Amino acid sequence: MKSGTALIYDEEMTKYKLLWVDPACKIEVPERLTVSYKALEENGLAQRCVNVPVRQATDAEILLAHSEEYLEAVKKTPHMTLEELMTFTQQYGDVYFHPNIYHCAKLAIGATLQLVDSVLTGKVRNGMALVRPPGHHSQRSAANGFCVFNNVAIAAHYAKKHHNVKRVLIVDWDVHHGQGVQYSFEDDPSVLYFSWHRYEHQDFWPKLRESDYDSVGKGKGAGFNINVPWNKVGMENSDYLSVFFHVLLPVAYEFCPDLVLVCAGFDSAIGDPEGHMCATPDIFAHLTHLLMSLAGGRLCAVLEGGYNLTSLAQSVCQTVQTLLGDPAPQPSELIGPCESALESIQCVRAAHKPYWDCLKHAEAPPISEPSTKRCKQTEGEGHGKAEDGEKEEEKEEMVVWQESPSRLVPPSRTAAVLPAEVKPLEGCDLLEPSLAPAADILQTLRNNLLEKSVDEGSLKTLYSVITLFEKMKKNEIRNGLALVPHVPVAISCAVKHAAESLTNRVLVVFVGEEDVTTYSTEEGKMLFVQISRRQSGEQKSQYKVSVCLKKSPPEDQRDVAGFMHAVLGLLLPLAYEYDPGLVLLARSPGCGVGEAAWAQLTSLLQGLAQGHTLVLLQVGEEKALRGTAASLQGDPVPSLGPLGAPPPEDVEAVERQRQRLQTSWKLLQTTAISEK
Ligand code: Q9C
Ligand code: ZN
Q: What's the pLDDT at 441?
A: 64
Mean pLDDT of the 107-113 span: 99
Whether residue 430 is found in the same domain as residue 325: no
- 84, part of any domain: yes
Rounded to the nearest angstrom, the distance between the alpha carbon of 342 and the centre of ligand 2 is 22
Residue nearest to atom 9 of ligand 1 (CA): 145
- 474, part of any domain: yes
From the CA of 136, the nearest ligand is 1
Whether residue 158 is found in the same domain as residue 204: yes
Give yes or no for residue 97 CB within 6 A of ligand 1: no
Whether residue 65 is found in the same domain as residue 190: yes
Give yes or no for residue 265 CB within 6 A of ligand 1: yes
Q: In this structure, how many other beta carbons lie within 10 angstroms of the beta carbon of residue 601?
A: 27
Give yes or no for residue 205 CB within 6 A of ligand 1: yes
Q: CA–CA separation, 280 vs 313, rounded Å? A: 12
Start-to-end CA span in the chain (Å): 53
Q: Which of residues 345, 374, 403 is at a domain's end?
A: 374
Give yes or no for residue 611 CB within 6 A of ligand 1: no
Q: Is pLDDT of 394 > 80?
A: no
Q: What's the pLDDT at 451?
A: 53
Mean pLDDT of the 485-501 span: 85
Q: What's the pLDDT at 657?
A: 96
The DSSP bridge partners found for residue 414 are: 479
Rounded to the nearest angstrom, the distance between the alpha carbon of 207 and the centre of ligand 2 is 13
Whether residue 357 is found in the same domain as residue 456: no
Rounded to the nearest angstrom, the distance between the alpha carbon of 406 and the centre of ligand 2 is 27
Q: What's the pLDDT at 422?
A: 87
240 backbone dihedrals φ, ψ, rounded to 5°:
-65, -45
Whether residue 341 is found in the same domain as residue 469: no
Q: CA–CA separation, 515 vs 521, rounded Å? A: 17
Q: CA–CA separation, 355 vs 357, rounded Å? A: 7
Rounded to the nearest angstrom, the distance between the alpha carbon of 42 and the centre of ligand 1 is 28
Give yes or no for residue 174 CB within 6 A of ligand 1: yes
Burial of 453-488, coded b for 16+ CB within 10 Å and e otherwise, reads ebeeebbbbbbbbbbbbebbbeeebbbbbbbbbbbb
Q: Strand order in 259-264's β-sheet?
A: 50-51, 5-8, 126-129, 299-303, 259-264, 168-172, 191-198, 225-230
Test site for ligand 1: of 26, 32, 95, 137, most ligand atoms within 8 A of the Cβ: 137
Residue 591's pLDDT band (cuts 50, 70, 90): confident
pLDDT in tens, 138-174: 999 999 999 999 999 999 999 999 999 999 999 999 9
Residue 522's pLDDT band (cuts 50, 70, 90): confident
Whether residue 30 is found in the same domain as residue 78: yes
- 396, part of any domain: no
The reply to whether 137 belongs to the active site is yes
Q: CA–CA separation, 514 vs 502, rounded Å? A: 26
3-state secondary structure of 415: strand
Q: In this structure, how many other beta carbons lie within 10 angstroms of the beta carbon of residue 500?
A: 13
- 393, part of any domain: no
Annotated active-site residue in 136, 137, 197, 246: 137
Angle at 172 between CA 6 and CA 46, to 5 degrees: 25
Residue type for position 509 = V
- 418, part of any domain: yes
Whether residue 229 is found in the same domain as residue 368: yes
Whether residue 157 is found in the same domain as residue 246: yes
Closest C-alpha to 569, from 643, 518, 481, 627 = 643
Whether residue 93 is found in the same domain as residue 226: yes
Q: What's the pLDDT at 175?
A: 98
pLDDT in tens, 455-473: 777 778 888 888 899 899 9
Whether residue 201 is found in the same domain as residue 306: yes
CATH number at residue 22: 3.40.800.20
- 297, part of any domain: yes
Q: Is pLDDT of 11 > 50?
A: yes
Q: What's the pLDDT at 494?
A: 87
Higher pLDDT, 593 or 9: 9
For residues 5 and 48, the answer to whether their CB atoms sit within 8 Å is yes
Whether residue 422 is found in the same domain as residue 329: no
Residue nearest to atom 13 of ligand 1 (CA): 305
Cα within 13 Å of Cα(630), Cβ side: 18
Mean pLDDT of the 129-145 span: 98
Mean pLDDT of the 200-227 span: 98
- 671, part of any domain: no
Which alpha helices (DSSP H) does 216-271 contain, by range? 237-243, 249-255
Closest C-alpha to 317, from 404, 195, 410, 411 = 404
Closest C-alpha to 404, from 472, 473, 313 = 313
Question: Which residues have a Cβ under 8 Å from the Cβ of 71 and sit 6 or more positions away?
Answer: 59, 62, 63
Q: Which of 297-301, 337-341, 522-526 has the lowest mean pLDDT?
A: 522-526
Give yes or no for residue 172 CB within 6 A of ligand 1: no
> Of ligand 1's atoms, which has the minimum distance to the CA of residue 134?
13
User: Domain tally for the chain?
Assistant: 2
Q: Is pLDDT of 256 > 60?
A: yes
What is the domain extent for residue 576? 412-553+571-638
- 561, part of any domain: no
Give yes or no for residue 137 CB within 6 A of ligand 1: yes
Mean pLDDT of the 357-386 span: 75
Residue 450's pLDDT band (cuts 50, 70, 90): very low
Mean pLDDT of the 364-375 span: 75
Q: Which of 69-78, 440-449, 581-590, 627-636 has the lowest mean pLDDT?
A: 440-449
Whether residue 211 is found in the same domain as residue 360: yes
Q: What's the pLDDT at 390?
A: 46
Rounded to the nearest angstrom, the distance between the alpha carbon of 615 and the centre of ligand 1 is 46
Cα within 13 Å of Cα(26), Cβ side: 6
Test site for ligand 1: of 22, 96, 176, most ligand atoms within 8 A of the Cβ: 176
> Of ligand 1's atoms, which has the minimum distance to the CA of residue 147?
13
